[in-house]
Structure 1
Amino acid sequence: MSLALSSARLAVDIGGTFTDFALEVEGRRFSRKVLTTPQAPEEAVIAGTALVLADAGLTHADLSLVIHGTTLATNAIIERKGARTALLVTQGFRDSIEMAYENRFEQYDIFMDRPEPLVPRQLRLPVPERVDARGNVVDLLDEEAVRALVPTLRAEGVRAVAVGFLHSYANPAHEERVGAMLAELAPEMAVTLSAAVSPELREYERWSTACANAYVQPVMDRYLDRLERRFRSDGVTAPIFLITSAGGLTTVELARRYPIRLVESGPAGGAILATRLAAQYGLDRIVSFDMGGTTAKICLVDDAQPLFSRSFEVARQYRFLKGSGIPIRIPVIEMVEIGAGGGSIATVDALGRIQMGPESAGSEPGPACYGRGGTRATVTDADLVIGRIRADRFAGGKMALDAVASREAVANSVGTRLGLDGVPAALGMVEVVEENMANAARVHAVESGKELAGRAMVAFGGAAPLHAARLAEKLDIGTVVVPTGAGVGSAVGFLLAPVAYEVARTRHSVADAGFDVAGLNAMREEMRREAEAVIRPAAPEAPLTENWTADMRYRGQGHELSVAVERAPFTAADAERLRALFVAQYVAQFGREIPGLPVEITGWQVRLSTPEVPMPPLPAALPDTQAAPAETVELADPATGRAAPVALFLRDGLPAGAVVPGPALIVEDETTTYVTAAFEARINGLGHIVMTRRAA
């Protein structure tokens, strides 16, 4: 039967292995997971949407809003499966994108791995032109040289072109002219202008962002076009929005033009979920742990707010150190992401070391146990061999797993090479991937100037609850929360996200008597209008919160601090107040001010958002009750390397107040929580699993 409703909101999160669905209607939530269809991702979206709507007794026309996020762009960059891309660049600067910062992120390792640019050198094509830092044209654009490059682009099989000219943020005229010429001369190629995708200073980050956008644009553009057409043909009349890397929303049209803004969209949903849970639980400091089929994401949340950044790195290659990835300059919830998911493939290197990822089996062919043609061992296969995943209970029994295939894959990929039997080899794989994630978390915390010890962890994603307790042990974390719907946690986070959008601009000014009040106010009003135009279709009447930041530095410095500023229009008297805000933050971070130096403002950002969705209050603690296990199963202990009997519980059968001492497994349709011997789990009044460290 069909429910009478005023609002049914659907969230869809495409991962590298599974596509997750969360449908919220009249206070009830329905969820589903289906295998991602990488050759045509919309097929999984359409199929899963039909399933979850049927679960709720709804039709496509009943939907009032669709929110979509995906790691497809991220996975394409990590696995280098994007379009063949060229970069048209100011003559004399073709190697800037490879020279990067001209430093060594690991000074003493002569074998350190540097990230390969997405565009190889032979496709970085110089164009005679030059604009200075104030936007003045120094050398006119050589249009004949641009025309002469088109045959080269076609001969090289280029499908996407990034255009990156020096100082185009100050004057984009040359880039815009090249974009118009390519639209006429090579309409089959997708074109990204660096001044449009990241209109900010510093050419390396801007060009890297433009290349990444071009690299994923053809894939994402075709996918989003097909998806929107299929949704409309199925009867969906609701607006469709994409979640951005900063946890806001954007239109399908903008997402097709700037898919790089979606590169962390799935993980952003998870960070939103963790942030709201932190506020609900009254936790000041948490670490968000999201592990899916292809990647793992770790985010720090302080005072119920995730760390935001204007830039981040994708696909760090060298021990997760800053500088070993591809820099992207967009608004983003700051997190570290590594190629460590359930589908991460195991190999043994020349030194006999187990390596996990970043290559992933994805959903096609998937882990060997899926029976879809995969033969190489993955984390999921290892979890099945050691007993953390139960073949007969995976996906609620709807998806059969082949345990024999997993054992053979682990033996062929790792065991035979190292002379190990199946269980020790699988335990080695799991230990390596868990230590990789722990090391990534440590590095991320150090770079952020934060501590991990004493934090609580919120774990979600199909694979995270399987590894969260062990990761917590390695990071000295004493509390782990596995929320309801953890297996589709990022999709649930989409439903909690405010409608929001961010706009950034570069504009140089000095906080002194010559402060350009009229020009700054006009630019800020234009930025606000741009953000509001994106938000209003989804929230026509909602009140909006306006948050502004300014990038500020002392004159002569090379990097800025992001300083929160007021939203009201500026007056001439505000120059000294802006300077004081910067100095206060500079002193807080570096311990002293620098007297006598002027303060420069290089850029501005605005985030416009609707109010947050309210969270229910945390229920009072209930008396502990002992729950009866559904069965006893064999599970390999990572400490001893031997299998031993442990209790298996069904999450649906655990009432609030139930206590589950470790070691144990808590199984649900979308994931399994492994409670190690060091932890004890309780089911709280919200149905969340809360694991707490036992006293030593």
Structure 2
Amino acid sequence: MAKAKTKTRLAADIGGTFTDVVLETPVGMFTAKVPTDIEQPERGIMAGVAIVLEQSGLASGDIDIFVHGTTLATNALIERKGAKTALITTEGFRDSLDIAYEARYDQFDLQLEKPLSLIPRGLRFTVTERMDVRGKVLLPLDRARVTELAAELNRQGVEAVAVGLLHSYANPAHEKTVRDLLIDAGCTAEITLSSDVCPEVREYERFMTTVCNSYVQPIMARYLRALEKTLSDNGFVCPLFLMTSGGGMTTLEAAIRYPIRLVESGPSGGAVLASRIAASLEENRVLSFDMGGTTAKICLIEDYLPQTARNFEIARAARFQKGSGMPVRIPVVEMIEIGAGGGSIANVDSMRRLAIGPESAGSVPGAACYGKGGVKPTVTDANVVLGRIDPETFAEGRMHLNVGAAKTAINGDVGEPLAVSMSEAAFGITEMVEENMANAARIHSVEHGADLSRYTMIAFGGGGPLHAVRMAEKLGVGRVVVPANCSVGSAVGFLRAPISYEVVRSRYMTLDLFDLDGANAVLDEITAEAQGIVLGGEPDSILVETRTAYMRYVGQGHEIQVPVPSGKLTEQSLAQIKADYEAGYTHLFGRTIPERDIEILSWSIVVSTRQEPAEKRQVNVLATEAAPIGKRPVFIPADHDYREVPIFWRPDLPAGASFQGPALVAEPQTTTFVSAAFTGRIDSKSNLVLEKV
């Protein structure tokens, strides 16, 4: 029944440079890539939607489901363009956001300046109250003080209020009372409670998550309501879902209430796509490489599942320095993201060093070759000059590129300062951005103890196929898979994601003094909350539940995740939880600690709609020689010159078609560059498979 409702599905992914739209119908898939409208992102979405509806011959009323991912919340946090926000916290904890971890993220930088807090000290208010760690009231809430604050918040024009009181995860009564008193006193700001957003121990992360959610909530609410109205005005009657950072979809109302969960929505869609492709190809070790116009995202996928985490840092001041950003506790697909995309700007510094990004030309003015006023050289300009991008067929021929402008920008800003030829300057730009991305992949793999030489790369995004082979050479990866519709890979991933929601709740207990009734009560409570959100999107769905406990030995500082058996917990369940904890601890550290009690800090449940498994059956196809549609001069680094290389039109290549690099494989919205060290073929699932000779 649920399957019949979602036969015709539409997805839109707003990136920093392009907006990708994908329409999946019973008769095929239709895609569009249009420049992102920075001022009104919904206009870019509707421009792409108009293209795919025209291609398919469908009307807006024929769409069964619309899935959307956006960088709006992330950009608001990075650029500090959110709402005017205040914090109300327990007396004595006004400066928790500044104190943070009581450490410097770079111990050796004597000139280090921490990024300013999202909320200035003058907008952080305290109230007298206190809960203990068990949720017992030690000091009653000063209700009169809260009522006074309502008038002060209105006077200062505060748009959003984050309420974070000590130990509210154990007992949210005081936070709820603060909210009710503010509303009753006429406070006009949107109010976010930490006990709703992040009911977990560790007040700094809890406060920061609440503050970030509050900071973006008004602008996200306005945007999502405007998008909802735009869709309705254009004849859409289907439900609108939002992609979350954890790789699932959530309802519009949940997204408006908890926009912090949308911060990595686009990249998580790419990870979902890569994991589905990995399962279909039975590749249990995969490096997902997603390069768009503004950023590149790299994610490890093992046993067909992307790495996930509960902690994420937004807007790091230092690219790879942990602790230099704003930590939030949300379900997130774990990946590394750097400012390296087609729009990344190249420059030569005072020491004559070539640097790429993280500044991006974006969609406006864009690369110099776009002809929209951009004059700085970008990675896209370099690819045009090197012959890897056809200026006549870029963006399905809707955008003709100015090769002369690209040459002028590269020669003026890179070639002349470095005293090298224009082609060498362009090659230097691509080589540098590829090294930046490869270095990010190395760091990510080392952090997870992964040997990338044993991995297969899955490359997508508008820029991924152009740079995947060189990335693979740098990383020692011998196999690259470029999926069908790769240029809009994240949006395709949206259509493969389940409706999913995770709830985490702190409820402390030890295994020696385990509270069965308390544990079952908290599991029932968070299960009902998660099910309510998921069933609100798909009432007839079959649900899948995953339960987890965050556990550690008494006295330790960090937890590991341990599976919790389904159903009502019993004494036998407790024995299983202990055995699973010891097995997990041994896997990580090679030993257990005998006679040490084990404690549980938090409980988690993920409820999602059941997904059909990926089709794994591969069909053996007859190998044939691919027929090129022409040739184009492409700069070959080994020759220090241009060489005519064959061009293959991917939509015309049948399963089994194969070729030897160097070559270009063009398709409507991107191009794959294949070096002489790789061969290529089309497999039975329409993937372009590149293998090192």
With normalisation by structure 1, the TM-score equals: 0.93
* Equivalent residues of 2:282, 2:616 under 8 A apart: no
Aligned to 1:499: 499
Aligned to 2:424: 424
Q: CA deviation at 1:255?
A: 0.4
Aligned to 1:551: 550
Alpha-carbon distance in structure 2 between the residues aligned to 1:351 and 1:260 = 40
Aligned to 2:670: 671
Q: CA deviation at 1:200?
A: 0.9
Aligned to 1:298: 298
* Equivalent residues of 2:153, 2:187 under 8 A apart: no
1:257 and 2:257 matched: yes
Listed one character per residue, the Cα deviations across residues 407-428 of structure 1 (whole Å, up to 9, x for unaligned) are 3333454445444443333333
Q: How does 1:436-451 map to 2 (within 5 A)?
A: 436-451=436-451
Aligned to 2:76: 76
Listed one character per residue, the Cα deviations across residues 577-622 of structure 1 (whole Å, up to 9, x for unaligned) are 3222211211111111111211100111111122223434443333
Q: How does 1:211-230 map to 2 (within 5 A)?
A: 211-230=211-230
Q: How does 1:496-645 map to 2 (within 5 A)?
A: 496-512=496-512, 514-638=513-637, 642-645=641-644
What secondary structure sits across from 1:453 in the alignment? Answer: helix
Alpha-carbon distance in structure 2 between the residues aligned to 1:94 and 1:385 = 55
Q: Which amino acid aligns with 1:205?
A: E
Q: Which amino acid aligns with 2:636?
A: D
What secondary structure sits across from 2:646 in the alignment? Answer: strand
What secondary structure sits across from 2:235 in the alignment? Answer: coil
Gap change, CA 1:536 and 1:366, over 3 Å in 2: same
1:197 and 2:197 matched: yes
Q: Which amino acid aligns with 2:11?
A: A
Gap change, CA 1:636 and 1:167, over 3 Å in 2: farther
What secondary structure sits across from 1:450 in the alignment? Answer: coil
1:384 and 2:354 matched: no
Q: Which amino acid aligns with 1:606?
A: I
Gap change, CA 1:355 and 1:521, over 3 Å in 2: same
Aligned to 1:45: 45
What secondary structure sits across from 1:67 in the alignment? Answer: strand
Alpha-carbon distance in structure 1 between the residues aligned to 2:444 and 2:615 = 31
Structure 1 spans left out of the alignment, 5+ residues: none
Q: CA deviation at 1:643?
A: 3.3
Aligned to 1:235: 235
* Equivalent residues of 1:547, 1:606 under 8 A apart: yes
Q: Which amino acid aligns with 1:551?
A: Y
Alpha-carbon distance in structure 1 between the residues aligned to 2:444 and 2:38 = 30
Gap change, CA 1:104 and 1:676, over 3 Å in 2: farther
What secondary structure sits across from 2:446 in the alignment? Answer: helix
Alpha-carbon distance in structure 1 between the residues aligned to 2:214 and 2:349 = 33
Q: CA deviation at 1:161?
A: 3.4
What is the number of residues matched between the two proteins?
A: 690
Alpha-carbon distance in structure 2 between the residues aligned to 1:678 and 1:556 = 54
Q: CA deviation at 1:485?
A: 0.6
Bigger shift: 209-218 or 661-670? Answer: 209-218
Gap change, CA 1:188 and 1:669, over 3 Å in 2: farther
Gap change, CA 1:186 and 1:424, over 3 Å in 2: farther
* Equivalent residues of 1:314, 1:337 under 8 A apart: no
Q: Which amino acid aligns with 1:164?
A: G
Alpha-carbon distance in structure 2 between the residues aligned to 1:70 and 1:687 = 28
Listed one character per residue, the Cα deviations across residues 457-503 of structure 1 (whole Å, up to 9, x for unaligned) are 11111111111111111111111110001011111111112222211
Aligned to 2:93: 93
What secondary structure sits across from 1:135 in the alignment? Answer: coil
* Equivalent residues of 1:130, 1:140 under 8 A apart: yes
Aligned to 2:36: 36
Listed one character per residue, the Cα deviations across residues 179-200 of structure 1 (whole Å, up to 9, x for unaligned) are 3455566755433322221111
What secondary structure sits across from 2:495 in the alignment? Answer: helix
What secondary structure sits across from 2:32 in the alignment? Answer: strand
Gap change, CA 1:510 and 1:281, over 3 Å in 2: same
Alpha-carbon distance in structure 1 between the residues aligned to 2:384 and 2:284 = 36
Gap change, CA 1:134 and 1:617, over 3 Å in 2: closer
Gap change, CA 1:480 and 1:184, over 3 Å in 2: farther
1:133 and 2:142 matched: no
Aligned to 2:482: 482
Q: CA deviation at 1:113?
A: 7.4
Bigger shift: 502-511 or 627-636? Answer: 627-636
Q: CA deviation at 1:406?
A: 2.3
Q: Which amino acid aligns with 1:40?
A: Q
Bigger shift: 531-540 or 488-497? Answer: 531-540
* Equivalent residues of 1:498, 1:613 under 8 A apart: no
Alpha-carbon distance in structure 2 between the residues aligned to 1:105 and 1:641 = 43
Identity of aligned residues (%): 51
Structure 2 spans left out of the alignment, 5+ residues: none
Q: Which amino acid aligns with 1:545?
A: V
What secondary structure sits across from 2:587 in the alignment? Answer: helix
Q: Which amino acid aligns with 1:460?
A: F
Alpha-carbon distance in structure 2 between the residues aligned to 1:244 and 1:253 = 13
* Equivalent residues of 1:461, 1:488 under 8 A apart: yes
Alpha-carbon distance in structure 2 between the residues aligned to 1:670 and 1:276 = 22
Bigger shift: 140-149 or 574-583? Answer: 140-149
What secondary structure sits across from 1:682 in the alignment? Answer: strand
Alpha-carbon distance in structure 2 between the residues aligned to 1:81 and 1:420 = 41
What secondary structure sits across from 1:269 in the alignment? Answer: helix
Aligned to 1:691: 690
* Equivalent residues of 1:213, 1:259 under 8 A apart: yes
Alpha-carbon distance in structure 2 between the residues aligned to 1:183 and 1:417 = 61
Q: CA deviation at 1:315?
A: 3.3
Aligned to 1:368: 368
Q: Which amino acid aligns with 1:633?
A: R
What secondary structure sits across from 1:647 in the alignment? Answer: strand
* Equivalent residues of 1:434, 1:470 under 8 A apart: yes
Alpha-carbon distance in structure 1 between the residues aligned to 2:375 and 2:154 = 37
Q: How does 1:405-424 map to 2 (within 5 A)?
A: 405-424=405-424
What secondary structure sits across from 1:363 in the alignment? Answer: coil
* Equivalent residues of 1:115, 1:326 under 8 A apart: no
Alpha-carbon distance in structure 2 between the residues aligned to 1:111 and 1:331 = 34
What secondary structure sits across from 2:261 in the alignment? Answer: helix
Gap change, CA 1:466 and 1:316, over 3 Å in 2: farther
* Equivalent residues of 1:368, 1:376 under 8 A apart: yes
* Equivalent residues of 2:150, 2:187 under 8 A apart: no
Alpha-carbon distance in structure 1 between the residues aligned to 2:77 and 2:346 = 20
